[in-house]
Amino acid sequence: MSLRLLTVSALALGLVAAPAVAQDARTEAQAAVIRDAALKSNVALDYVTQITTRFGPRPAGSRSEQQAAAWAADYLRAQGFQNVRIEEFPLVGWERGEDSGAIIGAHPQPLVLAALGHSPATPRGGIEADVVRFTTLDDLRAAPDASVRGKIVYVDLGQMHPMQDGSGYGPQTRVRGAGPGVAAAKGAAAFILRSVGSDENRLPHTGTTQYVDGKATVPSFALSAPDADQVSRLIALGEPVRLRLSSTARTYQTHSQNVIGDLPGATRPDEIIVLGSHMDSWDQGTGAIDDAAGGAITIAAAKAIAASGQRAARTIRVVLYGSEEVAQPTRETGNGGGVYARNQGAAVEKHVIAGESDFGADRVYALRLPAGAQGSDFQKAANRVLYPIGVLSSSQVETEGGVDVGPLGPLGVPFFGLAQDGTRYFDLHHTANDTLDKIDPAQLSQNVAAWAGLVWLIADSDVDFRALRQAAAAAPSAR
Amino acid sequence: MSLRLLTVSALALGLVAAPAVAQDARTEAQAAVIRDAALKSNVALDYVTQITTRFGPRPAGSRSEQQAAAWAADYLRAQGFQNVRIEEFPLVGWERGEDSGAIIGAHPQPLVLAALGHSPATPRGGIEADVVRFTTLDDLRAAPDASVRGKIVYVDLGQMHPMQDGSGYGPQTRVRGAGPGVAAAKGAAAFILRSVGSDENRLPHTGTTQYVDGKATVPSFALSAPDADQVSRLIALGEPVRLRLSSTARTYQTHSQNVIGDLPGATRPDEIIVLGSHMDSWDQGTGAIDDAAGGAITIAAAKAIAASGQRAARTIRVVLYGSEEVAQPTRETGNGGGVYARNQGAAVEKHVIAGESDFGADRVYALRLPAGAQGSDFQKAANRVLYPIGVLSSSQVETEGGVDVGPLGPLGVPFFGLAQDGTRYFDLHHTANDTLDKIDPAQLSQNVAAWAGLVWLIADSDVDFRALRQAAAAAPSAR
């Protein structure tokens, strides 16, 4: 029996209910109207300008993040969102303090670096040690402990290659996450890596490193690209390179919060579409692209729908999550996305779909739908709405959602993805250079228009993405 | 009597000697050979790589500048330069120490800034004051003292426009030089300006500010472009903006030095051509483009001539000047260029011409000659050598030379100029981003080739630029 026959049989036998996928022509026409109005709206630029200017950096659990959340709740109310609320949760915050580094010895030179998130402080006065350099994490893993003990381990992966889909990031960020633990297990004194980034600026890219067994490992730093290359060149010149590294980082008990606002559905308000982004930022920049832009895009998209004078059937919910950046993957609490998902209880079953905007402010180039929606009438309608503004329908299934909406996945919520152009994202990501001036208003508007058109289409339809996914899973040949 | 007739009469009466301008065909052919060999040489990239990697930043008078000078003298000897010597001179050095700034009040935010060179320290704990903003220096000059007294004066000139010839710099750098003195005279507590630069990086552009009556004025800082714009936006939002500014800058007695090396002339070794650049750099970057590149270009150009197996008639002298960046225009000492010129004594009369390379490492696009050389056979020969690598003959007369060779001007030495493309120079200038990776090896090679071809042509000819200039001055209609 072929797979194809199996599928036909399963459907014929009524084992899988055929889900509703038809799109109402009036809904689709309205999507185009909303899309075009969103292109002309200035709400996104207003939001990202105000939050980054008024509050500057918004590290998770900081007073600045808390104040920005209170302000954002007022902003949502002023834009007409209802049931606006702040969902508070406890957090172990991390504060950079002062960090510094230098090449010491005969020809001392300062180094531009930044401690990684949740890196522990050095002893007062810093750590002084020789550098031992690796070009892969595997080489470090294979090194005898004696060659590393007491030294500063340096992993130099070279420049991250810029890609439209950001796919250069994964391999490098895994080194940032796991490298310090590997170095610590071998008795290293500290860990440094070449910044995970695609630029050549004297601006280090921070980012969180992972705990091992629930604890921080060794003091860990990202060197800016030119500084990392300088250290590598000095080693290549045959000079023994000795560094002094210092950090006064600390952790502290605090709280963070999610900010939630709804545009209640007209006819099926219990069915919820979640539009996620995060409120916190790294401490070096003002978090314009990471991720005030995500809040700006989702708020402006929902506002464009509200401003159209039409109410969608379903509820559109904007969630500005707290504490995305410093979340430890192994930790149960301390991440706004996890808190939101757990607090939903049974209501999570009425979450129709969730999407996340957390990849800058440049244009959207592809729509990714959950399994089962490929080739559906819904995808065809979405394509007709989005293709005119440069968004293609991707055959890639959206399974992850993102760090913030991700915890809804295991609870059964499907995801959509509006893939953004990440070509220049990692020039700026997690650096002091993540500031308002990096946002291109024209690309931001296109991004909002893509969200507005798609979200309206979902919110005013009866398409059941859970059922589509279930049907696809039961009918393997359809994949 | 028309001016034209006057000229003819003056020449006819033998009042002005007709200077030698003929170019030897063999010399010109050899210039093309040297030019093409220089395009393939790697001396410039080697020099700029080694000096920036080994010594990092080289502030005037620092141990690093002194060590780099000793190393560069050895480098010149190894390249075959003769009579290599170090000309030491006393200097008041300026050391940044630590500087910091922040917006204070309800929504505190850090600011990225850098103290200006020769700015005095703040009191311990810093200065706290409200900001009063101006968009021109004239507006500040016109402001009543009472509106400024005790405040932090902020001059926001907006972004410097990038231009090929760097002409956007002058108006802005005048504000950096004179602004603090104007603010101080009105009783201001401190002075800040938007960085003089064409980029949008979180990297402030430092640079020296001027003493008034031989003394430093008020603590003065350049804000990075995004930080300057953030302050301006907060003011535009109607918020009173209060800052805390801190600097531990200090001056100290030290010495700097010029490094001098010759390729002696074969037949007229007392006739000297000076190729100038500077050894010192600002403290934030490693001074790759400002001005290790200048040393690299002039050394490599001379070396390309030496490596050709031909000796020029005249002496080619490379001078790596100390202490260019912190020179005070009103001060007699403390600038390597002034020291060199004064120490020449009568020998300055045999300085045929001088040129300076201090505008980065990008390509040369124009040749500027002294007055009287426009339209000469020498210019025509130079054009034939340089045009094939993209260098046009400019009708603009070179009168300034540059900060380093400039003091030779009042002593009668003419100047040539090889104008470099400055389109991206002020993205990097005086910032931490002035590092080796910003150098484009292909453009650097073209630059060296232009210098090598032109310098050979001057050094192996009998063209007398002083006489050409004198003839032009005596015959106004020729201009």
Q: What is the pLDDT of residues A446-458, one digit of tens each?
A: 999 999 999 999 9
Please tell me if residue B102 touches chain A, with a CB cutoff of 8 Å.
Answer: no
Neighbour count for residue A57 (Cβ, 10 Å): 22
Please tell me if residue A173 touches chain B, with a CB cutoff of 8 Å.
Answer: no
Question: Which residue of A lies nearest to B439 if distances are taken between CA atoms?
Answer: A200
Q: What strands lie across the sheet with A314-321, from one edge to the other?
A: A82-95, A250-263, A314-321, A268-278, A351-356
Q: How confident is the model at residue A476 (pLDDT cuts 50, 70, 90)?
A: low
Please tell me if residue B240 touches chain A, with a CB cutoff of 8 Å.
Answer: no
Euclidean distance between CA atoms B294 and A22, whole angstroms: 69
HSE-CB at A347 with a 13 A cutoff on CA atoms is 13
Please tell me if residue A225 touches chain B, with a CB cutoff of 8 Å.
Answer: yes
Please tell me if residue A436 touches chain B, with a CB cutoff of 8 Å.
Answer: yes
Q: What is the pLDDT of residues A61-88, one digit of tens each?
A: 999 999 999 999 999 999 999 999 999 9
Please tell me if residue A226 touches chain B, with a CB cutoff of 8 Å.
Answer: yes
Print the SS3 string covering chain B: CCHHHHHHHHHHCCCCCCCCCCCCHHHHHHHHHHHHHHHHCCHHHHHHHHHHHHHCCCCCCCHHHHHHHHHHHHHHHHCCCEEEEEEEEEEEEEECCCEEEEEECCCCEEECEEECECCCCCCCCCEEEEEEEECCHHHHHHCCHHHCCCCEEEECCCCCCCCCCCCCHHHHHHHHHHHHHHHHHCCCCEEEEECCCCCCCCCCCCCECCCECCECCCCEEEECHHHHHHHHHHHHCCCCCEEEEEECCEEEEEEEEEEEEEECCCCEEEEEEEEEEECCCCCCCCCHHHHHHHHHHHHHHHHHHHHCCCCCCEEEEEEEECCCCCCCCCCCCCCHHHHHHHHHHHHHHHEEEEEECCCCCCCEEEEECCCCCCCCHHHHHHHHHHHHHCCEECCCCCCCCCCCCHHHHHHCCCECEEEECCCCHHHHCCCCCCCHHHCCHHHHHHHHHHHHHHHHHHHCCCCCHHHHHHHHHHCHHHC
Please tell me if residue A45 touches chain B, with a CB cutoff of 8 Å.
Answer: no
Cross-chain Cβ contact B107/A286 below 8 Å: no
Residues of B in contact with A285 (CB under 8 A): 202
Q: What percent of chain A stands above pLDDT 90?
A: 88
Asked if pLDDT for residue B313 goes beyond 70, the answer is: yes
What are the phi and psi torsion angles at A10 (to 5°)? -60, -45
Please state, in angstroms and as integers, the Cα–Cα distance from residue B344 to each residue in A258, B257, B272, following that order: 73, 15, 11
Q: Which residues contact B402 (CB under 8 A, 6 or more apart)?
A: B276, B356, B358, B415
Are the beta carbons of A352 and A273 closer than 8 angstroms?
yes
Structure tokens that stand for B437 in this block: 């990776």
Are the beta carbons of A92 and A252 closer than 8 angstroms?
yes
Q: How confident is the model at residue A178 (pLDDT cuts 50, 70, 90)?
A: very high
The conformational region for residue A375 under phi > 0 = left, psi -120 to 50 = alpha, else beta, is left
Q: How confident is the model at residue A18 (pLDDT cuts 50, 70, 90)?
A: very low
CA distance A362 to chain B (A): 17
Structure tokens that stand for B436 in this block: 């080796």
Q: Alpha helix locations (H) across A56-199?
A: 63-78, 137-142, 145-148, 169-185
Class in CATH terms, A8-93+253-474: alpha beta
Cross-chain Cβ contact B230/A436 below 8 Å: yes
Are the beta carbons of A339 and A368 closer than 8 angstroms?
no
Cross-chain Cβ contact A110/B285 below 8 Å: no
CA distance B236 to chain A (A): 11
Exposed, middle or buried by CB within 10 Å (0-12, 13-18, 19+), for A39? middle
What is the sign, positive or negative, of the torsion defined by CA atoms of B389, B392, B397, B403?
A: negative
Neighbour count for residue B282 (Cβ, 10 Å): 26
pTM for the model stands at 0.91
Query: Which pLDDT does position B326 carry in this prediction?
Result: 80
Residues of B in contact with A234 (CB under 8 A): 53-54
Query: Which pLDDT does position B13 carry in this prediction?
Result: 40
Please tell me the least confidently modeled range out of A2-16, A94-108, A109-123, A285-299. Answer: A2-16
Please tell me if residue B57 touches chain A, with a CB cutoff of 8 Å.
Answer: yes
User: What architecture is domain A97-248?
Assistant: 3-Layer(bba) Sandwich (3.50)
Residues of A in contact with B101 (CB under 8 A): none
Please tell me if residue A70 touches chain B, with a CB cutoff of 8 Å.
Answer: no
Please tell me if residue A233 touches chain B, with a CB cutoff of 8 Å.
Answer: yes
Query: Which pLDDT does position B177 carry in this prediction?
Result: 94
Cross-chain Cβ contact A435/B230 below 8 Å: yes
DSSP A160: P
Query: Which pLDDT does position A240 carry in this prediction?
Result: 85
Q: Which residues contact A108 (CB under 8 A, 6 or more apart)?
A: A102, B56, B64
Cross-chain Cβ contact B229/A203 below 8 Å: no
Euclidean distance between CA atoms A140 and A154, whole angstroms: 9
Query: Which pLDDT does position B17 carry in this prediction?
Result: 42
| Residue of B66, B107, B159 for testing the chain A interface, max A β-carbons within 10 Å | B107
Mean pLDDT value of segment A245-252 = 97
Cross-chain Cβ contact B200/A437 below 8 Å: yes
Cross-chain Cβ contact A234/B64 below 8 Å: no
- CA nearest to A68, candidates A53, A85, A51, A81: A51
Cross-chain Cβ contact A56/B285 below 8 Å: no
Strands B99-104 and B109-111: antiparallel
The identity of residue B45, as a single letter, is L
**Helix (H) / strand (E) containing A352:** strand A351-356
What are the phi and psi torsion angles at A433 (to 5°)? -80, -5
Please tell me if residue B166 touches chain A, with a CB cutoff of 8 Å.
Answer: no
Q: What is the pLDDT of residues B174-191, one digit of tens each?
A: 999 999 999 999 999 999
Cross-chain Cβ contact B53/A433 below 8 Å: no
Residues of A in contact with B112 (CB under 8 A): 432
Question: Which residue of A lies nearest to B435 if distances are taken between CA atoms?
Answer: A226
Are the beta carbons of B343 and B335 closer than 8 angstroms?
no
The identity of residue A347, as a single letter, is A
The identity of residue A435, as a single letter, is T
Query: Which pLDDT does position B352 carry in this prediction?
Result: 97
Compare CB distances from A202 to B50, B54, B433 and report the shortest one's residue.
B433
Domain boundaries along the sequence of chain A? 8-93+253-474, 97-248
Strands A190-194 and B314-321: unpaired
Question: Which residue of A lies nearest to B64 if distances are taken between CA atoms?
Answer: A107
Query: Which pLDDT does position A23 carry in this prediction?
Result: 64
Of how many residues is chain A composed?
A: 479
Q: Which residues contact B221 (CB under 8 A, 6 or more apart)?
A: B99, B101, B113, B114, B115, B116, B119, B190, B191, B192, B193, B204, B245, B247
Neighbour count for residue A144 (Cβ, 10 Å): 8
Euclidean distance between CA atoms A379 and A180, whole angstroms: 44
Residues of B in contact with A237 (CB under 8 A): 50, 53-54
Query: Which pLDDT does position B333 carry in this prediction?
Result: 62
DSSP A289: I
Residues of A in contact with B428 (CB under 8 A): none
CA distance A85 to chain B (A): 22
Higher pLDDT, B11 or B282: B282
Please tell me if residue A428 touches chain B, with a CB cutoff of 8 Å.
Answer: no
Structure tokens that stand for A170 in this block: 């994964």
Q: What is the average pLDDT value for chain B, to the nearest integer?
A: 93
Query: Which pLDDT does position A171 carry in this prediction?
Result: 87
Q: Which residues contact A81 (CB under 8 A, 6 or more apart)?
A: A261, A262, A263, A302, A318
Cross-chain Cβ contact B286/A109 below 8 Å: yes
Query: Which pLDDT does position A328 carry in this prediction?
Result: 65
- Reported in sequence order, the residue ranges of A109-249 that DSSP labels E, i.e. its strands, are 109-111, 113-115, 127-134, 152-155, 190-194, 220-223, 242-247
Euclidean distance between CA atoms A269 and A457, whole angstroms: 15
Neighbour count for residue B412 (Cβ, 10 Å): 12
Q: How confident is the model at residue B477 (pLDDT cuts 50, 70, 90)?
A: low
Please tell me if residue B1 touches chain A, with a CB cutoff of 8 Å.
Answer: no
Question: Which residue of A lies nearest to B238 if distances are taken between CA atoms?
Answer: A54
Residues of B in contact with A233 (CB under 8 A): 49, 53, 436
Q: Which residues contact A220 (CB under 8 A, 6 or more apart)?
A: A115, A116, A119, A179, A180, A190, A191, A192, A193, A209
Are the beta carbons of A86 and A308 closer than 8 angstroms?
no
Cross-chain Cβ contact A107/B64 below 8 Å: yes
Euclidean distance between CA atoms A336 and B97, whole angstroms: 41
Residues of B in contact with A108 (CB under 8 A): 56, 64
Residues of B in contact with A107 (CB under 8 A): 54-56, 64, 67
Q: How confident is the model at residue A334 (pLDDT cuts 50, 70, 90)?
A: confident
Q: What is the average pLDDT value for chain A, to the nearest integer?
A: 93
Please tell me the least confidently modeled range out of A275-279, B68-72, B329-333. Answer: B329-333
Q: What strands lie across the sheet with B152-155, from one edge to the other?
A: B109-111, B99-104, B242-247, B127-134, B152-155, B190-194, B220-223, B113-115
**Helix (H) / strand (E) containing A447:** helix A441-459
- Provide the ipTM: 0.89
Structure tokens that stand for B360 in this block: 């980065």
Please tell me if residue A64 touches chain B, with a CB cutoff of 8 Å.
Answer: yes
Mean pLDDT value of segment B275-304 = 98
The identity of residue B134, as a single letter, is F
Produce one character per residue of B437-459: b if its CB has 16 or more CB atoms within 10 Å, e if not: bbbeeebbbbbbbbbbbbbbbbb
The identity of residue B397, as a single letter, is V
Could you identify the residue written with the tokens 């953030």? Answer: B230
Query: Which pLDDT does position B476 carry in this prediction?
Result: 59
Asked if pLDDT for residue A13 goes beyond 90, the answer is: no
